[in-house]
Amino acid sequence: MNAIQNIANKELYLAVKTKRFIILLSVYLIFLALSVYFTRFDVTAEGSYGYIVHRSIMGASGVVYETPISSIFMNNSMLWMFFGALLGILLGADSINREIQEGTIKVLLGHPVYRDEVINGKFLGNALALLIVVFIGFIFTIATALIFGIPMEGLSLVRLFILSIFIFIYTLVFLSLGTMISTLIRSPETSILVSIGLVIFFIIVYPILAGSLATSIVGEPPECHTITVVRQVETNGQVIESVGPSHDNCAEIYREWKEEVSVWERRINILNPAMHFAQLMIYTFAGEEGYNDYLPLSDSLGYAINNLAALLIELLFPFSIAYVRFLTRDLR
């Protein structure tokens, strides 16, 4: 355990002092500050908050209770998904192969440590670096909101804390992917490029392909024909029947078609960690229709179990490949 702890401490020290870590963290905080700043203007607008709205992100969907805190994250959900994925995968992308290329892995293994302690220590060190980023983001959000005069009630803070835990798990998924790439590709530069391409694929390309494929499976929007309806109309105090054309059925037909497309889009996105994270964001700020308030935490977190389990599987699977690959790899 001491060997893993020592390697983790060294990896954490190396991670936080790299330029790319500092640049990504700085950009993340700048965008976070801008999001909070622009939310400030919505707070003063009458009717901007305190209502339920339906959200659909990358195949994930649900109703959200609009508050200043939920708006900061839901209105910029793509941004958080992109930066979280990029930060996680870049930390792991060259964590193994750079040590092999520079020959320092032989020096490390020359000490009384096992290979499994090396990879576990490196993953733990980078995970701690991600935890620091998420913690800084949590504190920074609260501080900037207070500075800009945005009201923050206790329940929103609790849900922000829960969302921070989900963000941490989401970044760990991409750290695991980055570590796997680092064990499969010998060149650190190539593995970094592949990692960036993988983030672009999951955040931008995959959702577009899923939407197009879902539409192809379900088919084009149904044609809506005018129907004849009989209405009762009150004229001069008398109720009479009026016969005329109507398109009222079109909305219902289109809604059913849209729901079927969403179901297929969600099925196709089942392997995309960004979709599960988007659904967890929606559940974190889930609203209760009819009450114009948050859905109780016990209910909303109960719905989140399946997506959380999927993220944990997507975390463990790449790491298990990296683990086996590193233990059996020729390190010369």
pLDDT in tens, 201-244: 999 999 899 988 988 998 877 777 777 777 777 776 777 777 77
Report which of 207, 249, 201 is spatially closest to residue 229, judged by C-alpha positions: 249
Scanning the chain, the segments in alpha helix (DSSP H) are 2-16, 19-44, 68-74, 77-93, 97-102, 104-109, 115-147, 154-184, 188-200, 206-218, 248-268, 273-284, 297-303, 305-328
For the chain, the first-to-last Cα distance in angstroms comes to 26
Tell me which residues of the chain have a pLDDT lower than 70: 1, 42-48, 236, 247-248, 331-332
φ, ψ of residue 11 in degrees (nearest 5) = -65, -40
101 contacts 189 by C-beta, under 8 angstroms: no
Report the C-alpha gap between 160 and 69 in whole angstroms: 7
Cα–Cα distances (Å) from 129 to 12, 96, 116, 302, in that order, read 6, 16, 20, 29
The pLDDT tens digits for 254-308 are 888 888 888 888 889 889 999 999 999 999 999 887 777 888 888 888 888 999 9
